[in-house]
Amino acid sequence: MFDAPAELLLAVPEYKVPLPGGTTQSQNDVFALVRHADQTCATMIEGKVNEPFDKTVSEWLSIPKDGKLLRLRYICELLGLDPENPPLHLRYQLLHRSASALIEARRFKTDEAAMIVHSFSPTSMWFEDFARFANLLGASVEPDQSSTVKTKSGQRLRLGWATGNADFLAA
């Protein structure tokens, strides 16, 4: 996923990142600080087997709650997307996990942020949703490689799909 050998500096499971517009935080499977060459990266890792990336933005918005529009606007602006025309067809989880990475990259003053999907699906289930999301941000992705985009704010965001070892699925 990184251009040089990576060194894990810190990993925190079930890491929560506050987002404006409500009381629910973005709960990431793993937050990791990673060093590669002379760069440090704030990384959010989303583990998957066969489950989807939760609801589409359209489905998420259909359940009225205070602050959802504020939250979506904030996430869109952070990712460099048009807040007046949010990507209703994309999976909301991909948006807020990537936003979490950018938020923590700012907080920890890292060189870049990353949102990595660690998929244990033997068929790469839901990769198409991830690829659509990456394409919207200007990235072209392939399994087991990463792609980096620069947000409008100047932050670098690395997106990647890591294929997990299927042996870990056997009990």
DSSP state of 63: S
Residue type, 27: Q
pLDDT of residue 66: 78
- Alpha carbons 144 and 151: distance in angstroms, whole number: 22
Residue type, 21: G
Strand, coil or helix: what is 138? coil
Regions in the chain scoring below 50 on pLDDT:
none
pLDDT of residue 39: 95
- Alpha carbons 126 and 164: distance in angstroms, whole number: 14
Question: Which tokens in the block code for residue 17?
Answer: 């990142």
* Tens-place pLDDT, residues 154-170: 999 999 999 988 776 66
Question: Which tokens in the block code for residue 143?
Answer: 């399994």
Spell out the domain ranges in the chain.
Answer: 6-165
How many residues make up the chain in this entry?
171
pLDDT of residue 63: 86
pLDDT of residue 9: 97
**Where would I find the H helices in the chain?**
57-61, 68-79, 92-108, 127-136
Give, rounded to a whole angstrom, the gap between the first and last alpha carbons of the chain: 28
- Alpha carbons 140 and 149: distance in angstroms, whole number: 10
DSSP state of 143: B
Structural element, H or E, at residue 15:
strand 6-17
Q: Are 96 and 90 in contact (CB under 8 A)?
A: no
In DSSP terms, 47 is beta-bridged to 118
pLDDT of residue 23: 80
pLDDT of residue 160: 96
